[in-house]
Amino acid sequence: MGPPVLEVEVNDVESENFRLWWVCTIQGGIMWGDKEVLATQPAVSNPPGTSPSKPVPSSWKETRTSIDPVRPLTTLSDRAGARLGASLQVKGEISGNEDLHIDGSAEGLINFKDGKITVGASAKVTADIVAREVVVFGSVKGNLRARDRIEIKKDGSVTGDLTAARVHIEDGACFNGKIQIDRGNAQADANCDNLLACGASKST
C-alpha cells in the first residue's frame, strides 16, 4: 500500500503547481519508470574448457616469398687446368694433356705437349718443359720447347735454350741461353721428341 492521498480542493489556477509540489514533496519525487540501466555490458566470458580467441590484427602484412633469380650456369672451359701448390715438391716426369700452373718446385721433365704451362712467381723449376705454350713468372733452369709461344714476364728468370714459333721477353726479365724461332710443325714435333728423349735420359 502506498502513502495515503490527501484530497485538497484548490482553484484551477494553482491546481497544476500544487499537484507537482505534492508529488515531489509528499510522495518522494516523480517516478520516471525503471532505474537507469547501465550502458556498459559485462565482458563476455568464454565457456569453461575453451581457450581465449586470439586477437585479429587490424591489418595483415603481405608475406612475399623471396626467390633468388636463376643464375645462368657458368660455361666451363673444355680444357680443365691443374695446379701444383706452393708447398709441393715434385721430382721426376710430369705429363698430361691439360693446362698446368706451377707454384711449387719441380725437378725432372714436364711434358704437356697440348697444354699451357704457367710457372708462377713463387715457383722454382729445374726441368725441361715441353708444351703448347709456356709463360714464366718465376724461375726456370732448363730448356723450354713450345709449339706456339714462350713468354718470360718482367720478374721471370730462365736459364736454358728457348725453341718456339714466337718468343716474347719483357723488360726486366732475366734470360741466359739461346733462342730458336721454329714455325714448322713437323720440325717442332721432332725437336720436342728429341728434347723429351734428353729429359728422360737426365731423369734416369
Query: What is the per-residue pLDDT for 118?
Result: 98
57 pLDDT tier (thresholds 50, 70, 90)? low
Query: What is the per-residue pLDDT for 5?
Result: 53
Q: Is the model more confident about 165 or about 74?
A: 165
Q: Where are the domains of the chain?
A: 82-203
CA distances from 182 to 51, 120, 131 (A): 92, 25, 14
Asked if residue 120 has pLDDT above 90, the reply is yes
Give me the helices (H) in the chain, please: 12-25, 185-203
Query: What is the per-residue pLDDT for 184?
Result: 74
Nearest-Å Rg of the Cα atoms of the chain is: 53
Query: What is the per-residue pLDDT for 33?
Result: 46
- pLDDT tens by residue, 69-96: 555 544 444 456 899 999 999 999 999 9
Query: What is the per-residue pLDDT for 83?
Result: 94
Contact 117, 132 (CB under 8 A): no
Query: What is the per-residue pLDDT for 183?
Result: 79
Mean pLDDT of all residues in 94-115: 95
**Nearest-angstrom CA–CA distance, 105 and 108:** 10
Name 112's Cβ contacts closer than 8 Å, sequence gap at least 6: 94, 95, 96, 97, 98, 99, 100, 130, 131, 132
Cell, residue 41: 555490458
- pLDDT tens by residue, 121-164: 999 999 999 999 999 999 999 999 999 999 999 999 999 999 99
DSSP symbol at 197: H
Query: What is the per-residue pLDDT for 11?
Result: 54
